[in-house]
């Protein structure tokens, strides 16, 4: 917060997923408005070994809400990866059912659950943002637009406006921003221009989280913030 950022986005599973209550004093001086890493890979959202998604969500989401979280992103590639021998269409149905369940629980606590697309290297469920966003909407679930993942989709052509119209078909509720190489130097990656232009075209004015790598975290924060502010203004 001292660097000028409005909030922190932290991992939900690590903070709120344990059986015991978290140490609430840890959050006293933090503004945690969003979370990522909803579940760890040991709780499966898809496949024959699906875990207790309802029980987990009914524990994690209310705790996150109590800490001030308003948006919870579901990436969790290992948790939603269809295992070998399991029908991929069925795995996708499993995931959308889990996302819908989490979304309904979130609404009860004034939290928006918003899954993001991921690269094929991370999962085989939900790798193309446009299709993913439309299917989530069909199930009444919001979505997160992550620039890193969409720029690394197979067949991405970010220099074309039509690509962004197809992949960001309507406004997301949350945005993850980084370069194609997952750095914070967003003014240096010209491929981000179409992404930001599409968000502005859709009237997006919500949260933007930097989800990227760092070398000298605290030292780099002021310049990273300045670049995001310049890009999004």
Residue 28 confidence class, pLDDT cut points 50, 70, 90: confident
Q: What is the largest CA-CA distance in the chain?
A: 49
**Which tens digit of pLDDT belongs to each residue from 44-94?**
999 999 999 999 999 999 999 999 999 999 999 999 999 999 999 999 999
Q: Which CATH superfamily is domain 8-232 in?
A: Divalent-metal-dependent TIM barrel enzymes (3.20.20.150)
Name the DSSP class of 191. T
What one-character-per-residue DSSP string does 133-164 give?
HHHHHHTT---EEEHHHHHTSTT--TTSHHHH
Closest CA to 101 of 51, 172, 144, 67: 51
H/E element holding 76?
none
**Which tens digit of pLDDT belongs to each residue from 173-231?**
999 999 999 999 999 999 999 999 999 999 999 999 999 999 999 999 999 999 999 99
Q: What are the structure tokens assigned to 220, written together?
A: 């780099």
Residue whose structure tokens are 């690269």: 119
Contacts of 191 (CB under 8 A, 6+ apart): 151, 158, 159, 179, 180
Mean pLDDT of the chain: 96
What is d(CA 201, CA 193) in angstroms, rounded to the nearest whole number? 12
Reduced to 3 states, what is the DSSP secondary structure of residue 9? strand
Looking at residue 15, its pLDDT comes to 94
What is d(CA 133, CA 153) in angstroms, rounded to the nearest whole number? 14
Q: What are the structure tokens assigned to 219, written together?
A: 């030292």
Residue 40 confidence class, pLDDT cut points 50, 70, 90: confident
């Amino acid at each position: 917060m001292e660097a000028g950022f409005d909030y922190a986005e932290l991992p939900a599973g690590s903070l709120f997923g344990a059986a015991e209550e978290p140490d609430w004093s840890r959050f006293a001086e933090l503004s945690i408005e969003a979370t990522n890493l909803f579940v760890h890979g040991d709780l499966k959202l898809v496949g024959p070994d699906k875990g207790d998604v309802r029980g987990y969500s009914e524990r994690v989401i209310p705790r996150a809400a109590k800490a001030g979280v308003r948006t919870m992103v579901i990436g969790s590639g290992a948790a939603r990866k269809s295992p070998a021998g399991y029908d991929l269409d069925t795995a996708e149905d499993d995931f959308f059912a889990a996302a819908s369940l989490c979304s309904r629980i979130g609404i009860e606590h004034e939290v928006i659950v918003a899954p993001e697309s991921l690269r094929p290297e991370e999962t085989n469920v939900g790798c193309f943002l446009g299709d993913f966003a439309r299917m989530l909407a069909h199930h009444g679930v919001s979505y997160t637009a992550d620039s890193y993942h969409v720029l690394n989709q197979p067949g991405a052509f970010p220099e074309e406006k039509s690509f962004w119209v197809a992949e960001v078909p309507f406004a997301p509720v949350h945005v993850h921003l980084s370069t194609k190489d997952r750095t914070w130097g967003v003014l240096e990656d010209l491929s981000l221009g179409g992404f930001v232009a599409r968000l502005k075209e859709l009237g997006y004015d919500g949260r933007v989280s930097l989800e990227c790598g760092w070398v000298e975290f605290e030292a780099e924060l002021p310049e990273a913030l300045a670049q995001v502010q310049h890009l999004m203004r």
